[in-house]
Amino acid sequence: VSVAIPVPIGSHVASHAVGHNVGHGAGHVGGLAAAHNGGHGHAGAHRSGGGSTLLGYIGIDTIIEQMRKKTMKAGFDFNIMVVGNSGLGKSTLVNTLFKSQVSRRSAGWARDEKIPKTIEIKAVSHVLEEGGVKMKLTVVDTPGFGDQINNDNCWEPISKYINEQYEKFLKEEVNITRKKRIPDTRVHCCIYFITPTGHSLRSLDIEFMKRLSHSVNIIPVIAKSDTMTIEERLEFKQRVRKELEMGGIEVYPQKEFDEDMEDKSDNDKIREAMPFAVVGSDKEYQVNGKRVLGRKTAWGIVEVENPNHCEFAQLRDFLIRSHLQDLKEVTHNIHYETYRAKRLNENGGLHPITCNDTQESNL
């Protein structure tokens, strides 16, 4: 790893502390030299220069701040798909995750309404902002999945949708007048809702995950886990993991994409805890003087964000706070790349794809 050129960059701790705190204020309140070094985890690199103050600070580490500013300005896309039978709490969970009405609740069957014959695919976008960072969140809902008597091939329209987004991106990418920033509608993660039967996965579950695990990041969750006891949950989780393994199904985070030992040990913990047994709710209750999201039952309140009650908080932390960027990267570098390679191969080159859809620029 070490580079063989011994350039004496010099210890710049002093000058850095005085002159280069500008712009770190927002992210690092009270950003003194110590906190700053600690915060970025590069204190070691600063000190390794050997004490020469001749050259002083160059400012390479300000790339982080520069990137932060750009990211804040540009915002980013995050596209999440939910799949599972009706009534498993998909819309509720998405709203719980993002603490807002980003997903419409199923209205229930009206009197003369028939069960839909096919799977509808609905994408709804919202711009959410937190700490000055804008996220364009698109929730792709798949009402009707698994609701028919014969559910053969019900993964097909979903697979088609996922590939269509790759195709759209590819078309933009190979355009001669391509956009500076290609709008990203690719599905970054697919949350698959497992019915809390306590028995085993259904063939529909296996079939879906098997078919799609190579084209999208699948995150299975046990829906409505408040309907199971702690023991039942543990046993069910174990069984699901075993069945996934027996079926040769790799869900996200996939072992083969761990980049280093740190990744591996972080992701091993996730893999051992999967599938997260979740509870969703958009109602608030007062518990010990604090307002919490929960479900009120005859025997008490199930607190959605209490790790002793369910694994919602673990799912949220994993999905948003630790792996959001990785979900995007795996989608781009692995799933999209696979699609792209296949597509360009079967086309024998780029040309046949570019011929339509170029009317957007008004040249």
Ligand X SMILES: Nc1nc2c(ncn2[C@@H]2O[C@H](COP(=O)(O)OP(=O)(O)O)[C@@H](O)[C@H]2O)c(=O)[nH]1
Residues making contact with ligand X (CB under 6 A)? 86-92, 105-106, 224, 226-227, 279-280, 295
At position 318, the amino acid (one-letter code) is F
Residue 106 vs 151, nearer CB to Mg ion: 106
User: Which among ligand X, Mg ion, none contacts residue 88 (Cβ within 5 to 8 A by kind)?
Assistant: ligand X
User: Which among ligand X, Mg ion, none contacts residue 196 (Cβ within 5 to 8 A by kind)?
Assistant: none
Min dist CB 114 to Mg ion, Å, is 18
Residue 57 vs 312, nearer CB to ligand X: 312
How far apart are alpha carbons 166 and 339 in whole angstroms? 7
Q: Which of residues 96-115 bind Mg ion (CB under 5 A)?
A: 106
Min dist CB 90 to Mg ion, Å, is 5
Sign of CA dihedral 23, 26, 30, 34: negative
Residue 143 vs 157, nearer CB to ligand X: 143
How many degrees, rounded to 5, is the angle at CA 281 between CA 155 and CA 287?
155
Min dist CB 155 to ligand X, Å, is 17
How far apart are alpha carbons 312 and 278 in whole angstroms? 5
Would you say 147 and 86 are in contact if contact means Cβ atoms under 8 Å apart?
yes
Q: 28, 100, 101, 97: which is closest to 65 by C-alpha?
A: 28
Min dist CB 104 to Mg ion, Å, is 7
Min dist CB 222 to Mg ion, Å, is 17
Closest residue to ligand X, judged by C-beta, is: 89
Q: Which of residues 73-92 bind Mg ion (CB under 5 A)?
A: 90-91
Min dist CB 140 to ligand X, Å, is 12
Give the H or E element holding residue 236.
Answer: helix 230-246
How far apart are alpha carbons 294 and 158 in whole angstroms? 31
Contacting residues for 305 by C-beta, under 8 A, at least 6 apart: 292, 293, 312, 313
Closest residue to Mg ion, judged by C-beta, is: 91
158 burial (CB, 10 Å; 0-12 / 13-18 / 19+) is buried
User: Which among Mg ion, ligand X, none contacts residue 86 (Cβ within 5 to 8 A by kind)?
Assistant: ligand X
Residues that bind Mg ion (CB under 5 A): 90-91, 106
